[in-house]
Amino acid sequence: MARTQVPQTNAPHARVRGARPRWWTELPLIALVYAAYSAGRLLARGDESSAVDHGLAILALEKRLRLNAEHPLNRLFTEHSWLGIPADFAYASLHYLVTPAVLVWLFRRRPVRYWAARTWLMLSTLIGLIGFTLLPTCPPRLLAASHGFVDTMAQYSSYGWWGAEASAPRGLGGMTNQFAAMPSLHVGWALWCGVMLWRYGRSRLTRTVAVAYPLLTTVVVMGTANHYFLDAVAGAATMGAGLLLTGPAMRLADRVKSRFSVATSAARSPVVSTGCETSAGERIPHQRGADGSGPAHAEGADSTADDGAAAAAR
């Protein structure tokens, strides 16, 4: 008799990766994480003197490393409005548009890959929040004019919805943390988008965008004087740390969910005893043979005994 293979539905990751994500659970989760990130980013402002000291320390380190991409890019954007204005629009909007768009694309087109991608993005964002809290950093645009930086967002504010306080809409500058420069999650999120598009996109155009978008974002954040080059490097490192934590975090979530499911099932399922007789002396149905005439195991036992005797005779 052929043996029936029972699927192992409780194996680690099989349950999660085999299931299709549901938007009514994913959307509130993403909204909750982003709200926590925004609130934490706003609360972790730090004092201005410490933030300025950290910004100057980054500049000094870049000088020792002979890195100075910010000044030439910033001069280019301030002297040529046809570069500076699009760069300001890109800085103020793309990370709010492209990142959710890639998430939705993965949700619809690559649901099996969505879980790990979403977890990676969320963990990296929370790590970035820790960085903002521990190392409040003044961006180049807020340093004294003697350091040679111009705030392009303020210079071209008449062209967009933002004012002189970062990329926040006019009148809402007080609701953003202007010292959240280290690490640059503009660069980190763009890198995440690039990896997703490169890995799961199929067309040459998709892969071109996958490479161009993170590079363009890095140039924009430095040219608009919103971030140092080392902020961009830290943003990439943050995504790397989030990627390393994604596997353990998913396995932990699987174990917690599996134990919760087992506990819930045990609480709902009645206890059924096996191998016992009723008060009338009749065995429970699953112990009867296929024709209902007698215990199924008896036939199996007789057959086994006959086979054993035959083998011994041979």
| Domain coordinates in residue numbering, the chain | 45-254
Q: What is the pLDDT of residues 109-130, one digit of tens each?
A: 888 899 899 999 999 999 999 9
The pLDDT value given to residue 67: 93
299 phi/psi in degrees, rounded to 5: -60, -40
The pLDDT value given to residue 47: 76
The pLDDT value given to residue 82: 96
Which one has a higher pLDDT value, 38 or 69?
A: 69
Name the amino acid, one letter, at 205.
L
User: The dihedral of CA 30, 32, 38, 41: what is its sign?
Assistant: negative
| Average pLDDT rounded to a whole number, residues 238-251 | 96
272 pLDDT above the threshold of 60: no
Which one has a higher pLDDT value, 223 or 163?
A: 223
Which one has a higher pLDDT value, 247 or 25?
A: 247
Residue-averaged pLDDT of the chain: 79
Q: What percent of the chain has pLDDT over 70?
A: 71
Name the amino acid, one letter, at 217.
T
Contact 163, 171 (CB under 8 A): yes
**Angle between helix 111-134 and 229-268 (nearest 10):** 120
The pLDDT value given to residue 214: 98
238 pLDDT above the threshold of 60: yes
Separation in Å, CA 243 to CA 70, 133, 192: 28, 21, 10
Separation between Cα atoms, residue 130 and residue 136, nearest integer Å: 10
Name the 3-class secondary structure at 137: strand
80 pLDDT above the threshold of 80: yes
| Average pLDDT rounded to a whole number, residues 247-272 | 78
267 pLDDT above the threshold of 80: no
Which one has a higher pLDDT value, 159 or 213?
A: 213
Question: Of 193, 177, 191, nearest to 233 (Cα)?
Answer: 191
Name the amino acid, one letter, at 163.
G
| Average pLDDT rounded to a whole number, residues 253-269 | 78
283 pLDDT above the threshold of 90: no
DSSP assignment of 206-247: HHHHHHHHHHHHHHHHHHTTS--HHHHHHHHHHHHHHHHHHH
Location of structure tokens 């002396």: 281
Which one has a higher pLDDT value, 45 or 81?
A: 81
Q: What is the pLDDT of residues 188-229, one digit of tens each?
A: 999 999 999 999 998 999 999 999 999 999 999 999 999 999
pTM for the whole thing?
0.75
Which one has a higher pLDDT value, 177 or 288?
A: 177
